[in-house]
């Protein structure tokens, strides 16, 4: 009898995720059939080109690491009952700040990278502070403010690149190697793939996320506020303070995503005419991963495989990459529709009512 309900909850979340993934893949397959492609060949190409070769595996992991950070960022806010849709902006600000520290400050190898990463995280937190403060003290809906903050971040970054960091060009120079997160031996291990220290930092963040939320006083407060702010208030927990803290931490994680991507993958900043959409992917990762640390890692990995492998599938099987975005969307659709609800949860839930 021990732990049954807890397990039921976990099982139903897991069941939802697995069913949603399967259904999403089936929806993709139906689309391919309708468009005259062979889904078996396509998925085989996708999977084969994502993980079989060391190079591809390295690139898949590289694609996965910012998704882990962003997924954690969204999940942390969700756990406190907040919807941080501003991760995209916090990501941009994080990467911009990391670039500034990398390009404009000189420090010894390693330390330089570390300082740039932390600076990126702090910048993300600072960018998230405004929606957090407005939500806590003025009751302004965080979604509205965060979306606007995304636009400000995007165009602010573009202005800085065009007028200061790379006058007359579309992109900046590369960062100095002292600030890079790439490690030669790691790249060699994966046949020269752009895999970098970001994945190590991301996995570290997963552990910190778990420890923070379930083992510390702060985590207890954040979860209490998230589940029931009236009860938290009743117990003397400051709801406002925890809303702001949650946004700061979430923004910090999003900033880390931007910083590690810049310092490890791209190594320069380019003018962007639109969002890269990592914010939405992060929301998808958090939803599919049920806001749980291990869940976020697994769903980030799935999205990493689909994104990287999907790109190759285009070449190998001739199936357009857009199909993979449809698979993404379908998976999230099914997660949001709580597809396992009828099969597992409903009757058991009622027994206690």
- Contact residues for another protein, defined by CB under 8 A: 1-6, 9, 215-218, 220-221, 223-224, 227-228, 230-237, 347-348, 350-352
Q: How far is the CB of 208 from another protein (least distance, A)?
A: 12
Give the integer Cα–Cα distance in Å for 53 and 171.
Answer: 31
Q: Which is nearer to another protein, 35 or 235 (CB)?
A: 235
CA distance to 107, 160, 198, per residue, from 295 (Å)? 37, 37, 19
Q: How far is the CB of 349 from another protein (least distance, A)?
A: 9
226: which residues sit within 8 A by CB, 6+ positions away? 78, 79, 80, 81, 82, 246
Q: Which is nearer to another protein, 264 or 295 (CB)?
A: 295
Q: Which is nearer to another protein, 104 or 350 (CB)?
A: 350
Contact 72, 206 (CB under 8 A): yes
113: nearest Cα among 182, 179, 61: 179
Q: How far is the CB of 98 from another protein (least distance, A)?
A: 28
Q: How far is the CB of 237 from another protein (least distance, A)?
A: 8
Q: Which is nearer to another protein, 12 or 180 (CB)?
A: 12
Q: Which is nearer to another protein, 218 or 270 (CB)?
A: 218
Q: Which is nearer to another protein, 137 or 321 (CB)?
A: 137
Q: Which is nearer to another protein, 221 or 260 (CB)?
A: 221
Q: How far is the CB of 57 from another protein (least distance, A)?
A: 36
Q: Which residue is it, tokens 């490890």?
A: 264
Tally of residues, the chain: 353
Q: How far is the CB of 218 from another protein (least distance, A)?
A: 8
12: nearest Cα among 351, 342, 353: 342
Contact 268, 175 (CB under 8 A): yes
111: nearest Cα among 203, 174, 196, 178: 178
Give the integer Cα–Cα distance in Å for 324 and 302.
Answer: 12
Q: How far is the CB of 339 from another protein (least distance, A)?
A: 21
Contact 320, 36 (CB under 8 A): no
| Long-range contacts from 40-46, C-beta under 8 angstroms, 24+ separation | 41/317, 42/313, 42/317, 42/319, 42/323, 43/313, 44/317, 45/309, 45/312, 45/313, 45/316, 45/317, 45/319, 46/305, 46/306, 46/309, 46/310, 46/312, 46/313, 46/317, 46/324
Q: Which is nearer to another protein, 235 or 337 (CB)?
A: 235
Q: Which is nearer to another protein, 7 or 169 (CB)?
A: 7
Q: Residues 15, 47, 308, 328: is their CA dihedral positive or negative?
A: negative
Q: How far is the CB of 228 from another protein (least distance, A)?
A: 5
Q: How far is the CB of 312 from another protein (least distance, A)?
A: 42
């Amino acid at each position: 009898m021990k732990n049954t309900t807890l397990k039921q909850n976990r099982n139903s979340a897991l069941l939802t995720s697995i069913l949603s993934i399967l259904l999403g893949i089936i929806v993709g397959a139906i689309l391919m059939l309708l468009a005259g492609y062979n889904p078996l060949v396509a998925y085989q190409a996708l999977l084969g080109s994502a993980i079989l070769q060391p190079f591809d595996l390295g690139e898949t992991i590289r694609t996965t690491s910012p998704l882990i950070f962003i997924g954690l960022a969204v999940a942390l806010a969700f756990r406190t009952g907040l919807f941080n849709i501003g991760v995209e902006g916090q990501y941009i600000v994080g990467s911009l700040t990391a670039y500034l520290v990398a390009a404009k400050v000189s420090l010894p190898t390693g330390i330089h990278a570390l300082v740039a990463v932390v600076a990126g995280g702090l910048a993300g937190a600072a960018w998230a502070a405004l929606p957090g403060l407005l939500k806590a003290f003025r009751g302004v809906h965080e979604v509205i403010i965060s979306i606007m903050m995304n636009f400000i971040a995007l165009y602010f970054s573009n202005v800085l690149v065009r007028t200061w960091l790379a006058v007359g060009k579309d992109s900046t120079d590369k960062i100095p190697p002292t600030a890079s997160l790439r490690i030669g031996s790691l790249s060699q291990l994966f046949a020269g793939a752009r895999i970098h220290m970001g994945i190590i930092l991301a996995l570290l963040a997963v552990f910190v996320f778990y420890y923070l939320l379930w083992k510390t006083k702060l985590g207890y407060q954040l979860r209490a506020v998230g589940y029931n702010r009236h009860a938290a208030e009743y117990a003397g927990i400051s709801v406002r303070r925890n809303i702001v803290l949650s946004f700061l931490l979430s923004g910090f994680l999003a900033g880390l995503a931007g910083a590690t991507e810049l310092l490890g993958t791209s190594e320069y900043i380019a003018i962007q005419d639109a969002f890269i959409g990592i914010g939405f992917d992060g929301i998808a990762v958090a939803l599919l991963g049920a806001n749980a640390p291990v869940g976020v890692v697994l769903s980030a990995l799935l999205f990493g495989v689909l994104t990287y492998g999907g790109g190759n599938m285009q070449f190998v099987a001739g199936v357009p990459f857009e199909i993979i975005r449809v698979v993404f969307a379908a998976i999230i659709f099914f997660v949001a529709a709580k597809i396992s609800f009828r099969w597992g949860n409903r009757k058991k839930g009622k027994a206690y009512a």
